């Protein structure tokens, strides 16, 4: 965990007082909605179909047990007893009253949580690999750099009124769990041939109406220069990004229209003006941030404890262990993913009771730490392997041990038309039906890794473009219909999916997905060939034929 200091606490508390005053003035009529809207958006407050929605930042997806308990408290006291974890590692509350928001923010501030930069045309919450600091395959903990970026961009006056929102994501591993190629700036922490730590910098990725995979703008930027370099990118974007057309305002459009070479040349010029200036990070500054990340005092434990061997006789435990437990950099420990995708449940939702219970389990088994992943699941990052059987039993009892992580029912879905004022079609009921269709664990395992992503509109909060199977809800003649894409992926080989054909009605979506999966099982060369690889090998045609032959 990162330990906030007095400056952080003062900033957060002052922000609560400021927003309390703004809400009071809005409710009294002193501020019009037009005046207030920009202020509420700077505090993560949207207006959705039925109520205000409150988005709370979880920087780089790291939570303490005390913070998770406080989120449970907000869900229980001010909302309807649950929260929704998002694809940007945040949490949203769907039913909160405007008049209660200052109190909710004040309660969250007690544990250092806020809602700054979760909305608006600013640099948003910096996301990172949810396994940061514990993954065996990482160069170093990416959250140190995410925190440096967070501190630099927090309330940065030059970047608080950008042409459009701006999102960073960081990974430090070869396998990208942070979807950096679909972010405005993606940073991949690497070491060069001299052993120096730095970043491959990617720019111009994003989904939405005009999806683009990010392009590498500079293959290596030394760590000490990363702030000045991203500042140069933001300056070029701030200067040239379009403000006349919201649909063309993201940096991805600027990069696309200028071309990466010309854009890179502009950035180089801007960088020359500020490189080696005050934004250069010296070792002392980096170490100061690094030192405020407190790591657990791991014990020397057996990599194959007796408790684990004994529990292996239970097929339910083994199914879960094989699916949801990942290697840890520390021998004897494991990373445990908690599925928030129960059969028939809304993806990414957790009740206040579940949050409290997970916080208790984090204290007992994971040094009080919880992670949020962009796939809308949680993780306990420091679990002793000997504790896995006991932890599994506890997780199973609260409904977060469904062994479906990375399988077909581990669906990413936006709130869709059930909640969202931008949506054209529902997402959650589609996801729920699919989890029922693929509830059989043996079948799901047979299918293997398969990411289904669902968005209820073209804004793509459900990342449908990069789902192995992507489902996009649109409205046609007052009816919900769904476009299906296949072959997308969000990892280091990120790719946009390809449309298989005409949109299908709401009632047929689950049948179509079943058809696609059955086609895959018949077409794959061997069980190890993943769905997305079969699509890459054969293209969309065989799937298209299967789906539309009888429709």
Rounded to whole angstroms, the Cα distance separating 232 from 239 reads 11
Q: Strand 452-455 and strand 469-476: pairing?
A: parallel
Beta bridge partners of 495: 489
Tell me which stretch binds other proteins (CB under 8 A): 41-49, 110-118, 206-214, 314-322: 41-49
Give the contacts of 208 (CB within 8 A, at least 6 positions apart): 250, 458, 459, 460
Q: How far are the Cα atoms of 162, 317, 410, 432 from residue 438, in angstroms, in the given order?
A: 43, 19, 10, 10
The yes or no reply on residue 32 touching other proteins (CB under 8 A) is: yes
User: Of residues 160, 280, 351, 459, which one binds other proteins by CB under 8 A?
Assistant: 351
Query: Encoding tokens for residue 268?
Result: 């180089």
Which residue is listed with tokens 């330990």?
A: 3
The percent of the chain in helix, strand and coil, each rounded to the nearest 5, is 40, 20, 40
Closer to other proteins by CB, 5 or 33: give it: 33
* Closest separation in Å from C-beta 34 to other proteins: 8
CB 197 within 8 Å of CB 245? no
Distance of CA 232 to the CA centre of its chain: 25
Tell me which stretch binds other proteins (CB under 8 A): 216-224, 413-421, 464-472, 489-497: 413-421
The yes or no reply on residue 52 touching other proteins (CB under 8 A) is: yes
Closer to other proteins by CB, 28 or 245: give it: 28
What is the three-class DSSP state of 232? helix
CB 419 within 8 Å of CB 50? yes
The yes or no reply on residue 282 touching other proteins (CB under 8 A) is: no
User: Of residues 81, 136, 277, 502, which one binds other proteins by CB under 8 A?
Assistant: 81
**Dihedral sign, CA of 463, 469, 470, 473?**
negative
User: Of residues 6, 33, 282, 528, which one binds other proteins by CB under 8 A?
Assistant: 33
Q: How far are the Cα atoms of 221, 487, 544 from residue 519, in angstroms, in the given order?
A: 44, 14, 10
* Closest separation in Å from C-beta 378 to other proteins: 14
Closer to other proteins by CB, 52 or 482: give it: 52
CB 273 within 8 Å of CB 206? no
Closer to other proteins by CB, 413 or 532: give it: 413
Rounded to whole angstroms, the Cα distance separating 86 from 264 reads 32
The site for other proteins, by CB under 8 A, has a size of 38
User: Of residues 184, 349, 375, 533, which one binds other proteins by CB under 8 A?
Assistant: 349
Site residues for other proteins, 416-445, by CB under 8 A, read 417-419, 426, 428-429, 432
Closest CA to 255 of 203, 297, 180: 203
User: Of residues 47, 106, 343, 499, which one binds other proteins by CB under 8 A?
Assistant: 47
The yes or no reply on residue 103 touching other proteins (CB under 8 A) is: no
The yes or no reply on residue 346 touching other proteins (CB under 8 A) is: yes
Closer to other proteins by CB, 193 or 478: give it: 478
Tell me which stretch binds other proteins (CB under 8 A): 8-16, 25-33, 235-243, 303-311: 25-33
Site residues for other proteins, 316-345, by CB under 8 A, read 345
Rounded to whole angstroms, the Cα distance separating 136 from 139 reads 9
Rounded to whole angstroms, the Cα distance separating 246 from 399 reads 41
CB 87 within 8 Å of CB 127? no
User: Of residues 5, 7, 29, 442, which one binds other proteins by CB under 8 A?
Assistant: 29
User: Of residues 1, 39, 68, 75, which one binds other proteins by CB under 8 A?
Assistant: 75
User: Of residues 50, 243, 436, 493, which one binds other proteins by CB under 8 A?
Assistant: 50
* Closest separation in Å from C-beta 165 to other proteins: 16
Rounded to whole angstroms, the Cα distance separating 95 from 89 reads 19
* Closest separation in Å from C-beta 73 to other proteins: 11
CB 370 within 8 Å of CB 340? no
Closer to other proteins by CB, 99 or 551: give it: 99
Closer to other proteins by CB, 75 or 503: give it: 75
Closer to other proteins by CB, 33 or 541: give it: 33
User: Of residues 98, 258, 326, 523, which one binds other proteins by CB under 8 A?
Assistant: 98
Rounded to whole angstroms, the Cα distance separating 300 from 318 reads 24
Q: How far are the Cα atoms of 231, 244, 416, 425 from residue 456, in angstroms, in the given order?
A: 34, 26, 4, 5
Closer to other proteins by CB, 47 or 286: give it: 47
The yes or no reply on residue 19 touching other proteins (CB under 8 A) is: no
The yes or no reply on residue 80 touching other proteins (CB under 8 A) is: yes
Tell me which stretch binds other proteins (CB under 8 A): 124-132, 166-174, 350-358, 513-521: 350-358
Tell me which stretch binds other proteins (CB under 8 A): 22-30, 165-173, 198-206, 323-331: 22-30
Tell me which stretch binds other proteins (CB under 8 A): 268-276, 405-413, 415-423, 521-529: 415-423
CB 238 within 8 Å of CB 156? no
Rounded to whole angstroms, the Cα distance separating 157 from 122 reads 9
Closest CA to 48 of 483, 378, 476, 456: 456
Query: Encoding tokens for residue 286?
Result: 């980096």
What track of x and - describes contact with other proteins for positions 468 through 487 (by CB under 8 A)? Answer: ----------x-x-------
* Closest separation in Å from C-beta 33 to other proteins: 5
Per CB under 8 A, residues contacting other proteins are: 26-29, 32-34, 47-52, 75-76, 79-82, 97-99, 345-346, 349-353, 417-419, 426, 428-429, 432, 478, 480
């Amino acid at each position: 965990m990162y330990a906030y200091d007095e400056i952080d606490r003062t900033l957060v508390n002052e922000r609560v007082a400021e927003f309390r005053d703004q809400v009071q003035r809005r409710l009294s009529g002193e501020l019009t909605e037009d005046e207030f809207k920009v202020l509420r958006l700077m505090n993560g407050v949207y207006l959705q179909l039925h109520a205000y929605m409150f988005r709370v930042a979880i920087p780089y997806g790291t939570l303490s047990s005390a913070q998770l308990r406080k989120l449970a408290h907000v869900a229980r006291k001010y909302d309807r007893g649950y929260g929704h974890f998002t694809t940007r590692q945040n949490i949203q509350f769907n039913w909160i009253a405007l008049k209660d928001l200052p109190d909710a923010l004040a309660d969250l501030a007690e544990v250092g949580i806020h809602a700054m930069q979760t909305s608006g045309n600013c640099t948003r919450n910096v996301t990172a690999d949810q396994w940061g600091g514990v993954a065996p395959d990482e160069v170093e903990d990416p959250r140190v750099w995410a925190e440096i970026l967070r501190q630099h961009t927090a309330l940065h006056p030059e970047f608080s009124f950008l042409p459009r929102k701006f999102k960073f994501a960081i990974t430090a591993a070869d396998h990208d769990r942070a979807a950096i190629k679909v972010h405005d700036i993606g940073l991949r922490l690497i070491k060069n041939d001299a052993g120096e730590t730095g970043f491959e910098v990617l720019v111009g990725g994003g989904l939405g109406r005009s999806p683009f995979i990010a392009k590498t703008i500079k293959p290596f930027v030394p760590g000490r220069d990363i702030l000045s370099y991203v500042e140069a990118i933001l300056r070029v974007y701030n200067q040239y990004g379009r403000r006349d057309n919201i649909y063309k305002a993201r940096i991805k459009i600027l990069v696309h229209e200028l071309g990466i070479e010309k854009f890179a040349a502009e950035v180089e010029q801007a960088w020359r003006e500020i490189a080696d200036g005050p934004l250069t990070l010296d070792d002392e500054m980096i170490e100061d941030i690094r030192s405020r990340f407190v790591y657990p005092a791991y014990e020397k434990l057996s990599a194959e404890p007796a408790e684990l061997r004994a529990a292996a006789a239970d097929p339910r435990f083994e199914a879960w262990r094989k699916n949801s437990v990942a290697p840890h950099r520390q021998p004897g420990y494991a990373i445990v993913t908690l599925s928030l995708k129960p059969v028939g449940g809304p993806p990414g939702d957790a009740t206040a009771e579940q949050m409290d219970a997970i916080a208790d389990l984090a204290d007992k088994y994971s040094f009080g730490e919880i992670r949020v992943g962009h796939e809308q699941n949680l993780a306990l990052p420091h679990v002793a392997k000997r504790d896995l059987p006991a932890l599994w039993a506890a997780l199973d009892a609260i409904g977060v041990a469904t062994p479906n992580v990375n399988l077909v029912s581990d669906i990413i879905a936006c709130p869709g038309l059930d909640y969202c004022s931008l949506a054209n079609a529902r997402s959650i009921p589609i996801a729920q039906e699919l989890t029922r269709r693929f509830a059989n664990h043996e079948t799901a395992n047979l299918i293997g890794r398969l990411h289904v992503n669902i968005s209820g509109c073209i804004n793509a909060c459900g990342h449908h473009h990069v789902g192995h199977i992507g489902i996009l809800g649109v409205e046609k003649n007052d009816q919900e219909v769904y476009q299906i894409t296949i072959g997308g992926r969000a990892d280091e080989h990120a790719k946009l999916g390809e449309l298989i054909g005409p949109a299908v009605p709401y009632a047929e979506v689950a049948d179509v997905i079943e058809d696609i999966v059955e086609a895959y099982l018949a077409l794959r060369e061997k069980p190890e060939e993943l769905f997305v690889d079969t699509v890459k090998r054969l293209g969309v045609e065989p799937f298209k034929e299967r789906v539309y032959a009888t429709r």
